[in-house]
């Protein structure tokens, strides 16, 4: 098996794991919504605290995933060759830009989840 194929298969295996993480995040998010609802309906401060903790955990996990994809895009950018097509160069640059913006949004959402003690902002991962 050649090196490029090995690298692609390794990348796909990591991405499979990330999809499993996303399933876990969805389940945690559903539970988090239940806690948030319980806080608003019953003014349950324990639910509020647990909601905030779970939300922060979710955004820490997402930030790690976003860092992975940012690093992958950066590697693609650094591996561009002069003889690559203009289309490939443009798409790799756009992918890097998108990954950078997603990483930035993850940092901002994590910050909000940590600092927003009164739950002023509705957080959702996209």
Q: Is residue 37 part of a domain?
A: yes
Domain count across the chain: 1
* Residue 104 lies inside a defined structural domain of this protein: yes
Domain assignment present for 30: yes
Determine, yes or no, domain membership for 81.
yes
Q: What is the pTM of this model?
A: 0.91
Of 124, 8, 123, 18, nearest to 68 (Cα)? 18
pLDDT above 90 for 123 = no
The residues near 123 (Cβ < 8 Å, ≥ 6 apart) are 55, 59, 109, 112, 113, 116
Q: Would you say residue 12 lies in a domain?
A: yes
Whether residue 80 lies inside any domain: the answer is yes
Cα gap 120→60, rounded to integer Å: 20
In a domain, 121, yes or no: no
Range of 92's domain? 3-115
Q: How does pLDDT run across 63-122, given as a tens digit for each residue?
A: 999 999 999 999 999 999 999 999 999 999 999 999 999 999 999 999 999 999 998 898
In a domain, 9, yes or no: yes
């Amino acid at each position: 098996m050649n090196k490029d194929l090995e690298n692609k298969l390794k990348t796909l295996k990591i991405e499979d794991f990330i999809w499993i993480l996303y399933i876990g995040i969805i389940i945690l998010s559903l539970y988090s919504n239940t806690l948030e609802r319980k806080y608003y309906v019953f003014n349950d401060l324990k639910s509020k605290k647990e909601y905030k903790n779970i939300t922060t955990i979710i955004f820490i996990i997402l930030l790690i995933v976003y860092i992975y994809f940012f690093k992958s895009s950066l590697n693609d950018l650094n591996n561009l060759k002069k003889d690559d097509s203009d289309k490939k160069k443009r798409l790799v640059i756009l992918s890097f830009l998108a990954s950078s913006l997603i990483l930035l949004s993850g940092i901002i959402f994590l910050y909000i989840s940590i600092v927003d003690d009164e739950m002023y902002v509705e957080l959702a991962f996209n």
